[in-house]
Amino acid sequence: MSRLVVVSNRVPVPDTSKKAPAGGLAVALKAALDERGGIWMGWSGQSSGEDEPGELKINEDGKITYALTDLTDRDVDEYYHGFANRVLWPICHYRLDLADYGRKEMTGYFRVNRFFASRLQPLLKPDDIIWVHDYHLIPLASELRRMGVKNRIGFFLHIPLPPADVLFAMPVHEEILRNLAEYDLVGFQTDHDLANFAGALVREGLGEKLDDNTLSSFGRQFRAGHYPIGIETAAFAAYARRAVQNALVRKAAESLEGRELIIGVDRLDYSKGITQRLDAYEQFINANPHRQGNVSYLQVTPKSRSDVPEYEAMQRMVAEQAGRVNGALGTVDWVPIRYINRSVARPVLAGLYRIARVGLVTPLRDGMNLVAKEYVAAQNPEDPGVLILSRFAGAARELTGALLVNPYDVEGTAQAIEQALAMPLEERRNRWRQMMDYLLVNDVMHWCEDFLDDLINLSPGHPHSTGVTHEPIQ
């Protein structure tokens, strides 16, 4: 059996000092690595200052070798904060207004990918299967190919791939498409992302679609598909069942004093639609006086990327907004919004989802959104809550038992909150059962196996290269 080599920007090296369970993606990839043996490589998250990063930091754990590298300050600035988070992230989330494109950052992005490739290449064996993750590392296959690596290489994009008109606003879009075409298999979260990718290639005359999953572009034939990521459904449901005993969850339940709980859980990010959601909640309260004092909205939002200015501003804005709504609507014995600005341990999170009658998941754009799936998995089958889900989350392609909303339509979302709270038990059960059955089958292990099977079983003779090469960006 070939070894598996996973490459991702950050690597969840197991921390034996912490008992907290890892997230689903880390569990699934670790299971695949445990089975096949292999390497997980990426950035250590640390900077070497101005000096060139030293040797790879190698950590062996059973059949897995974790290989981490530091980056210089300049690398972190240009590759990570610069191009990945201030160009690719906003553009892929349809936020052209927030994209801050600069040649220096773009060059840094390609340079760091070349650097990652140079560190990985000496570790590779000829029949290793390589699986690269996410938007930080799009050029990795091109760089490896240039170094003579002939292994099978797959790529999975965790975030959305926007339509041509949005993507083309990025001056370097052709290079990004060309780099994606260097993989043997490119995976997206949804059929829409896949269609956008194929559409962008065809629109620019850069490629053609040979069949639903085969594309030809830049002198290569390669495969592309959609592989919606899942969660560890059964394990998450078990946490949630047990979490009823958790002291923090019990305290939270008691503090509700019989009020219905509405929950929102997101990384603090403009793509998650938090401010529109708070507006919708305010409208819902104003439009439904009988709910005043009888519901509580808990928003759990750990800080993320707080050294990027947009995120710092957002943090202030959300805190102010929650404060304003509480000031305007709250009473001496009722706080309409409870706003927590940090992360919560997974078992506690599972328990909070379970005691919430409504899960409010309304991103303006999201590759998948695992919170929506976790909320469903955590419900009590006898008395499940209702998921309100943005139609612009990848999860909406699968979770059709949710109340689907347009998060830009604040009044519509407000109405959905009332509909969810008023929903009869039988309808709640039917909607939940349908989603849960789906999630039990389509869990994160299934996602991982599905992608790897397709990558490993590409038809013999693949890839087809016409031998056309292109110059690297310097």
Which phi-psi region, left, alpha or beta, contains residue 404 (left: φ > 0; alpha: ψ -120 to 50)? beta
84 binds ligand ADQ (CB under 6 A): no
- Shortest spacing between CB 417 and ligand ADQ, in angstroms: 20
User: What is the rounded distance in angstroms from the CA atom of residue 171 to the CA atom of residue 412?
Assistant: 36
Question: Quick check: is 70 catalytic?
Answer: no
- Shortest spacing between CB 374 and ligand ADQ, in angstroms: 5
Interface of this chain with ligand ADQ, residues 172 to 191, rule: CB under 6 A: none
Tell me which of 158, 184, 193, 443 is the catalytic residue: 158
Kindly list the distances between the CA atom of residue 222 and the CA atoms of 155, 188, 312, 462, in Å, as whole numbers in the listed order. Answer: 12, 14, 41, 8
Tell me which of 134, 184, 266, 366 is the catalytic residue: 366
Residue at token pair 């102010």: 320
Q: Rule CB under 6 A: choose which of 349, 356, 435, 455 binds ligand ADQ.
A: 349
228 binds ligand ADQ (CB under 6 A): no
Q: Which is nearer to ligand ADQ, 69 or 369 (CB)?
A: 369
The kind and range of the H/E element at 352 are: helix 346-355
267 binds ligand ADQ (CB under 6 A): yes
Q: Which stretch binds ligand ADQ (CB under 6 A): 284-292, 365-373, 417-425, 428-436?
A: 365-373
Which residue blocks in 13-163 are alpha helix, DSSP H? 24-36, 73-75, 89-92, 103-120, 140-146
- Shortest spacing between CB 25 and ligand ADQ, in angstroms: 6
- Shortest spacing between CB 133 and ligand ADQ, in angstroms: 9
Q: What is the DSSP string of 271-328?
A: GG-HHHHHHHHHHHHHH-GGGTTTEEEEEE----STTSHHHHHHHHHHHHHHHHHHHH
443 binds ligand ADQ (CB under 6 A): no
The kind and range of the H/E element at 130 are: strand 129-133
Q: Which is nearer to ligand ADQ, 117 or 237 (CB)?
A: 237
- Count of all residues that appear for the chain in the document: 474
Q: Which is nearer to ligand ADQ, 152 or 158 (CB)?
A: 158
- A 10 A CB-CB count for 437 gives 12
The kind and range of the H/E element at 339 are: strand 337-340
Using an 8 Å Cβ cutoff, are 266 and 61 in contact? no
Using an 8 Å Cβ cutoff, are 358 and 420 in contact? yes
Q: Which is nearer to ligand ADQ, 33 or 349 (CB)?
A: 349
370 binds ligand ADQ (CB under 6 A): yes
- Shortest spacing between CB 369 and ligand ADQ, in angstroms: 5
Strand partners, 223: 185, 214
378 binds ligand ADQ (CB under 6 A): no
User: What is the rounded distance in angstroms from the CA atom of residue 450 to the CA atom of residue 452?
Assistant: 6
Q: Which is nearer to ligand ADQ, 216 or 343 (CB)?
A: 343
User: What is the rounded distance in angstroms from the CA atom of residue 73 to the CA atom of residue 68?
Assistant: 16
At a CB cut-off of 8 Å and minimum separation 6, what does 439 contact? 230, 231, 233, 373, 376, 377
- A 10 A CB-CB count for 30 gives 19
The kind and range of the H/E element at 404 are: strand 403-405
230: its two tokens? 């899942």
Nearest residue to 141 (alpha-carbon basis) of 426, 472, 447: 472
- Shortest spacing between CB 81 and ligand ADQ, in angstroms: 17
Q: Rule CB under 6 A: choose which of 11, 149, 198, 368 binds ligand ADQ.
A: 368
374 binds ligand ADQ (CB under 6 A): yes
Strand partners, 210: none
**Binding marks (x or -) toward ligand ADQ, 138..177, rule CB under 6 A?**
--------------------xx------------------
- Shortest spacing between CB 100 and ligand ADQ, in angstroms: 19
Strand partners, 188: 226
Question: Quick check: is 366 catalytic?
Answer: yes
229 binds ligand ADQ (CB under 6 A): yes
**How many amino acids of this chain bind ligand ADQ (CB under 6 A)?**
20
Q: Which is nearer to ligand ADQ, 38 or 228 (CB)?
A: 228
343 binds ligand ADQ (CB under 6 A): yes
Q: Which stretch binds ligand ADQ (CB under 6 A): 14-22, 95-103, 170-178, 366-374?
A: 366-374
Interface of this chain with ligand ADQ, residues 11 to 50, rule: CB under 6 A: 23, 25
Q: Rule CB under 6 A: choose which of 12, 21, 199, 302 binds ligand ADQ.
A: 302
Interface of this chain with ligand ADQ, residues 246 to 265, rule: CB under 6 A: 265
User: What is the rounded distance in angstroms from the CA atom of residue 421 to the CA atom of residue 116?
Assistant: 50
Which residues are marked as active site? 158, 366
Site of interaction with ligand ADQ (CB under 6 A): 23, 25, 158-159, 229, 265-267, 300, 302, 343-344, 349, 366-371, 374
